[in-house]
């Protein structure tokens, strides 16, 4: 099964990056883009996010070997329904959504009997929209595929090859397990950032200008994550509710234990934890998921 034509539905950070990455890394594959927002389509044409940009989803998926939905997870079913009657029967349908169980169910409802292989490239930034995309977003990042047990192996193979060509390392995982892993590595960290930034801005005895002025003490790093797209993150929490609540329970217990250690002056517990967490940061760097420069080691991808 070879992929020669890809339709990208949704042309924001992820969709735009897929289009640019294909053009840079696999230029013989034709990319066709669609977004429901006319101003996004206009911008996408100006930026050349795909070989061509269509004004309807039906046109975009016409004759595509692979369709990738790059819309918020709560919009997957509606977006898939829009092109369901126009996509080739043997096309592979995939997505980039941050939660996988609910998206798999939504796509199965919208596209009964079709070859659906859900996927999640674990790569992103706090930016959104068509200007935010860049070709190297997936380089050396993981892309997790969550095919159902009866999925066509040749479709899994074709999708894995596609993502590898964009620079990603591909892993297969059960959708439920994916949602639990991502709850702890991505969704809870975002929830903590949203909370701490919200809490700081609501304080009465510390002014907002002080919070911003002295933000280099740690707060500013949370503000980067807390600046992420509100629609995307609302949908992630509504769609990965079970796993997030389960992990949040564990997190609250650990936070309570820390609270107790601080109250009782238990420096040993604090020191032991902080030493373990410092070692985890070293592992993240050693595995190439960040570099050791400050400011989160982010490169200027321009
Ligand atoms: P984004 O920059 O906001 O782009 C999403 C685009 O999809 C918007 O232009 C949106 O238009 C459009 N859209 C919404 N509903 C649509 C529909 N029914 N048909 C066609 N287009 C539609 O968001 P993103 O960051 O690329 O996220 C896209 C997906 O990637 C999400 O599922 C997210 O969970 C996943 N993801 C994100 C990251 C990240 O770091 N951002 C990382 C990995 C995976 P409107 O503005 O008009 O709604």
Q: Residues 44-67: what's their mean pLDDT?
A: 98
Q: How confident is the model at residue 301 (pLDDT cuts 50, 70, 90)?
A: low
pLDDT for position 217: 87
In the predicted model, what is the mean pLDDT of residues 38-55?
A: 98
75 lines ligand 1 (CB under 6 A): yes
Q: For tokens 């590595």, what's the residue?
A: 185
Contact 225 CB / ligand 1 (< 6 Å): no
Q: Are the beta carbons of 226 and 193 closer than 8 angstroms?
A: yes
CA distance linking residue 158 with residue 156, whole number of Å: 6
Cα(72) to centroid(ligand 1), Å: 4
Residue 300: pLDDT above 60? no
Reply yes or no on whether the pLDDT at 87 is more than 70: yes
User: pLDDT band for position 298 (50/70/90)?
Assistant: low
Q: Is the pLDDT of residue 281 over 70?
A: yes
Residue 299 confidence (pLDDT) = 59
CA 246 – ligand 1 centroid, Å = 26
Q: How confident is the model at residue 292 (pLDDT cuts 50, 70, 90)?
A: confident
Q: By the 8 A CB rule, do 98 and 232 touch? A: yes
- What mean pLDDT comes out for the span 45-67? 98
State the pLDDT at residue 79. 98
β-strand pairing of 119-121 with 115-116: unpaired
pTM: 0.94
Q: Is the CB of 65 under 6 A from ligand 1?
A: no
pLDDT at 279 over 70: yes
Of all protein residues, the one whose alpha carbon is nearest to atom 33 of ligand 1 is 97
> How do residues 120-177 score in pLDDT, each as one tens digit?
999 999 999 999 999 999 999 999 999 999 999 999 999 999 999 999 999 999 999 9
Instruction: Give the model's pLDDT for residue 294.
Output: 72
Per-residue confidence (pLDDT) for residue 290, from 0 to 100? 87
User: Does 302 score more than 50 pLDDT?
Assistant: no
Look at ligand 1, atom 9, and give the residue with the nearest C-alpha.
12
pLDDT at 204: 79
Name the one residue in this structure whose structure tokens are 């269509």.
54
Residue 74 in contact with ligand 1 by CB distance below 6 A: no
Mean pLDDT for the chain overall:
95
Measure the CA–CA gap between 81 and 57, rounded to whole angstroms. Answer: 10
Dihedral of CA 128/228/160/136: which sign? Answer: positive
Question: Is residue 159 lining ligand 1, measured as CB closer than 6 Å?
Answer: no
Q: What is the largest CA-CA distance in the chain?
A: 67
pLDDT bucket at 209, cuts 50 / 70 / 90:
confident
Rounded to the nearest angstrom, the gap between the alpha carbon of residue 143 and the centroid of all alpha carbons in its chain is 10
- Determine whether the shortest distance from the Cβ of 146 to ligand 1 is under 6 A: no
User: Residue 256 and residue 249: Cα distance in Å, rounded?
Assistant: 11
The tokens describing 127, both together, are 């930016």
Angle (CA) 79-193-299 rounded to 5° is 80
């Amino acid at each position: 099964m070879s992929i020669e034509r890809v339709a990208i539905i949704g042309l924001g950070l992820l969709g735009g990056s897929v289009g640019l990455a294909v053009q840079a890394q696999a230029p013989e594959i034709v990319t066709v883009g669609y977004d429901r927002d006319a101003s996004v389509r206009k911008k996408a044409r100006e930026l050349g996010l795909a070989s061509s940009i269509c004004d309807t989803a039906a046109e975009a998926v016409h004759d595509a070997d692979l369709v990738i939905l790059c819309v918020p997870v709560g919009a997957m079913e509606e977006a898939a329904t829009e092109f369901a009657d126009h996509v080739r029967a043997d096309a592979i349908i995939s997505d980039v959504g941050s939660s996988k169980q609910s998206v798999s169910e939504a796509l199965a409802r919208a596209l009964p009997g079709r070859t659906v292989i859900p996927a999640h490239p674990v790569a992103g930034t706090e930016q959104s929209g068509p200007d935010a995309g860049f070709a190297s977003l997936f380089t050396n990042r993981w892309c997790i595929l969550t095919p159902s047990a009866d999925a066509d192996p040749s479709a899994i193979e074709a999708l894995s090859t596609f993502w590898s060509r964009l620079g990603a390392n591909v892993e297969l995982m059960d959708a439920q397990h994916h949602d639990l892993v991502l709850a702890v590595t991505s969704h809870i960290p975002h929830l903590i950032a949203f909370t701490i930034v919200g809490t700081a801005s609501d304080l009465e005895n510390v002014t907002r200008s002080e919070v911003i002025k002295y933000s280099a003490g740690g707060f500013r790093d949370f503000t980067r994550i807390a600046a992420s797209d509100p629609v995307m993150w609302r949908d992630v929490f509504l769609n990965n509710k079970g796993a997030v609540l389960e992990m949040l329970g564990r997190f609250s217990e650990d936070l309570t234990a820390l609270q107790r250690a601080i109250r009782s002056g238990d420096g040993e517990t604090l020191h032991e934890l902080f030493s373990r967490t410092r070692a985890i940061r070293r592992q993240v760097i050693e595995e190439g998921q960040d570099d050791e420069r400050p400011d989160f080691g982010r490169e200027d991808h321009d």
